Amino acid sequence: MEELVLKAQHGDEQAFTDLILMLKHDLYKIAKMRIVSNDDIDDAIQETMIEAFKNIKKLKKIESFKPWIIKILINKCNKIYQKKKMNEITFEEDIDNYLVHESEHLSENDMDFYLLIKCLNYEERIIVTLYYLECYTTKEISQILGINENTIKTKLARAKMKIKNNYKEESI
């Protein structure tokens, strides 16, 4: 990936396209934690690609490309969410509709994951996603989200407890 980042920084559009294609699924999963509408997710990813392409030459550490682009994506998703917040239904209602209509396209693991995190707030969902699906450390998540690492650890522990308690309640 680092070789592609270097090429992209030197203006190689195909290298940048290859980078985006490598990360497309990860970007989608992360965007899904904030916004559920596929059109809005596509918009967020497209805006992320445009901003990343314009600013890739400013990236100082090539090994930080993925966290850098995820941070851009999260900011784009937050902007879209804020614009739509007043008119949109809740994540819980929207994810239920999404799972019903998209169930044939999702893997069983994806459906299980979305159902498990349904009880979490946005910040907890994004932390859990970055930690468990994207395998980032708490330190890396701290840098991506701009939150103290100890706060990330606390929120991760609370999120796991919420999931555990919610699972127990549903099992009864």
Report d(CA 39, CA 49) in Å as an integer: 15
- pTM over 0.85? The answer is no
How large is the average pLDDT for residues 20-48?
A: 88
Average pLDDT along the chain: 81
The H-assigned helical ranges of 103-137 are 108-117, 122-128
Instruction: Say if residue 111's pLDDT is above 50.
Output: yes
Of the pLDDT bands very low, low, confident and very high (cuts 50, 70, 90), residue 155 is very high
The H or E element that residue 167 is part of is helix 149-171
- Digit-coded pLDDT (tens) for 68-101: 999 999 999 888 888 776 554 455 555 545 444 4
Closest CA to 52 of 65, 35, 63: 65
C-alpha distances (whole Å) from 151 to each of 36, 67, 146, 161 are 26, 18, 10, 15
Of the pLDDT bands very low, low, confident and very high (cuts 50, 70, 90), residue 30 is confident
Question: How far from each other are the two terminal CA atoms of the chain, in whole angstroms?
Answer: 47
Name the fold adopted by 1-88: Rna Polymerase Sigma Factor; Chain: A (1.10.1740)
Give the Cα-Cα-Cα angle 149, 151, 156 (nearest 5 degrees).
95
The domain ranges of the chain are 1-88
